Amino acid sequence: MSKQQIIANGLSNLDAEELKTFKNALFLINLPRGKKQITMHDLEDKSLVAIAEFILACHTERHGTIMIYNALKKISKDDIVKIIQTNLRESAKGKRKMEYKNKKGMVRLVKQHALDLIREVIVVDPILNDLLIQKMLTEKQYNNLCSNTTSPKKMRELYKFVTTWQDDSKIKFYKSLMKFNEQLIKYLEHLDKPPPKKEHFVDRHWQKLFKKNMVDDLLADSLLTEEQCGMIRAQQQNQEKMRILYSFIRGWGNAQKDIFCNILKKHNAPIIRRLQEEDMNPSLNPMKKNFVDRHRQNLINWVYEIQPVLDSLLKQNLLTKQEYDSTGSTTTPQEKMTELYRVVGSWGDSDKDKLYESLAKYNRLLIRDLEYQDMKWTVSSSKFH
């Protein structure tokens, strides 16, 4: 929350008459020489946030805040001053914690993704120049690094220095990486986030799964208590019975849900088989599509080296000069990939395979991770979860 919003929240404790008195108090405060006196016109028809923004903009955040405190004290609203001060302190503490967490994340990325950065960073020379300007490299170190012929060699040699740097210098290195290889760094940060929890078969199909006799089996396997079974049996409609049952199932782990599925198979194997077939339907099965179609959104979101890919496609006559220029004229990798997909949509699988090969050459880390996702899907598709 911004400082202006915190101040406005504090001022919201004033009623209409008190707010009017507060504004009058502001007009009477003596300001340092050269500072413009606030007038009624300045605050007329302004929201509380707009009032706070105006005062802090005109009189700096520090002096503007003091001015607001003094006006509140003049109208005996010291309690509101304390509220604002407390909330500003808490906000500052939260920002410091977030800043500390972010800095730790920057250092961790530089350390943990060293090999990925050595392999994948293509734009190296501007980074070296930036580090030289910040006096993190000497002239001699800079010249030696620049003398290497490939980007991976430059990054490998650079990392010999990076590993000896303190955290503050690693943070500067991270910021330089972000400045010149933003999409790659964002992708590495994306990889570090915990993956979304995979939906279990039961959670996908629970509304279709109720069978009358399975409640007894769930009780026998100690998955339900007598009381829970009584609540389910008390319902008249199967749909309502299943709704109550799922309210218990939802909190189970995958192992318990697997036992539930095995009980269902005993009572009604055909419905389980049919639902598994639905899950494996070619129209829903991502493995039935070409890699480029299968991972369309991920490729648009995360491709970090697109220009060499476009050059390769032009060279192979997969793009016309007009298509190449139109795609290349956009700004961000996401925009370029979105434009490219407008052309790719009409290609056959063999041409899409050539695009895949080009993407794999210049975005090895991303393609490797997407291929790993495919491998996991193939392994897990025959299971309940």
Tell me, yes or no, whether 105 lies in a domain: no
**Reported confidence tier of residue 279, pLDDT bands at 50, 70, 90:** low
Do both 149 and 219 map to the same domain? no
Do both 207 and 256 map to the same domain? yes
Q: Return the pLDDT at 147.
A: 96
| Residue-wise pLDDT tens digits, 128-172 | 999 999 999 999 999 999 999 999 999 999 999 999 999 999 999
CA-closest candidate to residue 148, choices 138, 139, 158: 158
- Cβ-contact 239, 207 below 8 angstroms: yes
Do both 271 and 231 map to the same domain? yes
Do both 238 and 305 map to the same domain? no
Last residue of a domain, one of 131, 148, 181: 181
User: What percent of the chain stands above pLDDT 70?
Assistant: 88
Is 115 or 222 the better-scoring residue by pLDDT? 115
- Crossing angle for the helix pair 48-59 and 3-11, nearest 10 degrees? 130
203 class by beta-carbon count within 10 Å (0-12 exposed, 13-18 middle, 19+ buried):
middle
Coil, strand or helix at 281: coil
Q: How many domains does the chain have?
A: 4
Do both 275 and 292 map to the same domain? no
Last residue of a domain, one of 91, 124, 149: 91
Q: Which token pair is 302?
A: 């995360």
54 pLDDT more than 50? yes
| Residue-wise pLDDT tens digits, 348-362 | 999 999 999 999 999
Last residue of a domain, one of 181, 210, 234: 181
Q: Which of 27-31, 313-317, 345-349 is predicted with the least confidence, judged by mean pLDDT?
A: 27-31
Do both 303 and 333 map to the same domain? yes
Do both 208 and 257 map to the same domain? yes
Q: Is the dihedral of CA 344, 347, 351, 353 positive or negative?
A: positive
Q: Is the dihedral of CA 212, 216, 218, 223 positive or negative?
A: positive
Do both 270 and 296 map to the same domain? no
CATH of the domain at 307: 1.10.533.10
Kindly provide the b/e burial profile for residues 305-341, where b requires at least 16 CB atoms within 10 angstroms of the residue's own CB. bbeebbebbbeeebbeeebbebbbeeeebbebbebbb
Domain span including residue 144: 113-181
Tell me, yes or no, whether 38 lies in a domain: yes
Tell me, yes or no, whether 193 lies in a domain: no
Do both 81 and 16 map to the same domain? yes
Do both 321 and 363 map to the same domain? yes
Tell me, yes or no, whether 104 lies in a domain: no
CATH of the domain at 151: 1.10.533
Half-sphere exposure of 355 (CA within 13 A, CB side): 24
- CA 362 to chain centroid, in Å, comes to 24
Do both 305 and 373 map to the same domain? yes
Residues 6+ positions from 188 with CB-CB distance below 8 Å: 109, 113, 116, 117, 365
Tell me, yes or no, whether 107 lies in a domain: no
Tell me, yes or no, whether 96 lies in a domain: no
The one-character DSSP state at 383 is: S
Residues 6+ positions from 173 with CB-CB distance below 8 Å: 110, 131, 136, 162, 165
Tell me, yes or no, whether 83 lies in a domain: yes
Q: Return the pLDDT at 209.
A: 67
Q: What is the mean pLDDT of the chain?
A: 86
Do both 297 and 374 map to the same domain? yes
Q: Return the pLDDT at 379.
A: 46
Q: Which of 76-80, 264-268, 318-322 is predicted with the least confidence, judged by mean pLDDT?
A: 264-268
Tell me, yes or no, whether 144 lies in a domain: yes
Q: Which of 177-186, 245-254, 338-347 is predicted with the least confidence, judged by mean pLDDT?
A: 245-254
| Residue-wise pLDDT tens digits, 177-196 | 999 999 999 999 998 887 66
